[in-house]
Amino acid sequence: MFFLDVKYGTNKGSVASADDMMNAKTGHARTAGARQYASQRIKNEAVDALNTTIQLGYFPVVTGTLVITDSTTGEVLSVTSTANGVDTLSSSLSGGLTATVTLATGAVVISGSGLGHAGVASYQYNYQTGGLAGAVANNVPEVNIAVSAETITAEDFPLKALFTLGAAIDLEKAYWLNLEDELVKYLGGEVKFTMDHLGIDLMYAAAGATGAATSPGTYTAAPSTGEAWVWKKYQFLDFVEKANVNILSKTLRAMCNFLVVGNDAARLIRQLEPHFKPAAGLDSLVPTGPYELGTLDGRLVVHDPLLDSNAILFGFKGDNYLFSGFLFAPYIPLFSTPTLVTADLKAQKGFLASAGYKVVNAGMYTTGAITIV
């Protein structure tokens, strides 16, 4: 299983080289400095506490842009005048500090004994003509791109059917049905059912574990006194959007594009037309496990009768291996053995499939609940 991993290649403002810029598991970096990395702006570059002379990391500095902030006192030095390639900075505090910055070199001199505490500097620089401190040029921020890999171990799903040859003959004579064909249909379906529901169970467990997006809580469908039921049930749409925003906030790149719901939520969702659009053939479907109910505002809705009746799983399904929350990796498709008949006229037939499962990013999932009357 492969993951995209993009790391910062340059120290720039509050961003350190080798920090994650974007990772398939953790999402995008969140700091203000990270948001401004691909620009000529420097955000929150560390400034030593007592030094009277400070070398900014990037230069030449664009005039009028430098702001130095004392992280302890909040004292701010900003540009008040410019002359001969030197900006003068002053504090708005009475009796505060002053400083100068030589624009061409990024050298800052603070009056007195220095800033007094650790601080940060924010400014802009001219990337076309300048350089990095300690380097002649190369002041365009870099990223390092890698594809990392993890191992998935497939697990087997075996099943064996035992029957008598007499039973097979009776079924064929009475109903014109071939027992072996029926076994492939029903027991092969049972293997598939087991594999499908294991995936749902693993996603649901991840959605409620550490690292998952914040739960939207519980939606109560019972109307308040004097409240019309028709408006109360449509409030469920906002509940879904809350889960959607929570997933986006957690990952900064994924949104809810599917729901797996228990009986109570399925009952409510079917009443939310035109936001809900039923799946083709839904009225004639005879479900024996999870099935596609339809779409709700474009999101796939799967009804799982075996899920807790009031449970809802919200999740994101990516379009490739680099942006996945959960990976299902089939290894052996459903295989059935030839039927073996022993001398006592007893028969047996085996079934096997194999697949790997792995939670990649629990932040792409969350759970909610519904109370309905």
* Domains of the chain by residue range: 2-148, 154-371
Burial class (CB in 10 A: 0-12, 13-18, 19+), 289: middle
In terms of pLDDT, which residue wins out, 314 or 335? 314
Strands 143-149 and 53-55: unpaired
**Confidence (pLDDT) at 189:** 86
Distance CA 37, CA 227 (A): 50
Cα 137–chain centre separation = 37
Strands 98-102 and 86-91: antiparallel
Peptide bond into 274 cis (omega under 30): yes
**Confidence (pLDDT) at 136:** 47
How large is the average pLDDT for residues 348-364?
93
Distance CA 54, CA 59 (A): 13
Q: Which residues pair with 22 in a beta bridge?
A: 6, 28
Question: Within the chain, where are the H helices?
Answer: 32-35, 165-175, 179-207, 229-234, 236-251, 263-269
Distance CA 107, CA 55 (A): 5
Q: What is the pLDDT of residues 158-195, one digit of tens each?
A: 999 998 888 888 888 888 888 888 888 888 889 988 99
Q: Is pLDDT of 133 > 60?
A: no
0.85 exceeded by the pTM? no
Report the alpha-carbon angle 266-260-185, nearest 5: 95
**Confidence (pLDDT) at 123:** 96
**Confidence (pLDDT) at 137:** 53
Query: Could you say which DSSP state residue 263 is in?
Result: H
Among 111-115, 236-240, 342-346, the range with the most confident prediction by mean pLDDT is: 236-240
Contact by Cβ (8 Å): 351, 191:
yes
Residue found under tokens 């009796």: 95
Q: Is pLDDT of 373 > 80?
A: no
How large is the average pLDDT for residues 250-268?
93
Residue found under tokens 């800052």: 108
Burial class (CB in 10 A: 0-12, 13-18, 19+), 352: middle
Q: Is pLDDT of 154 > 90?
A: yes
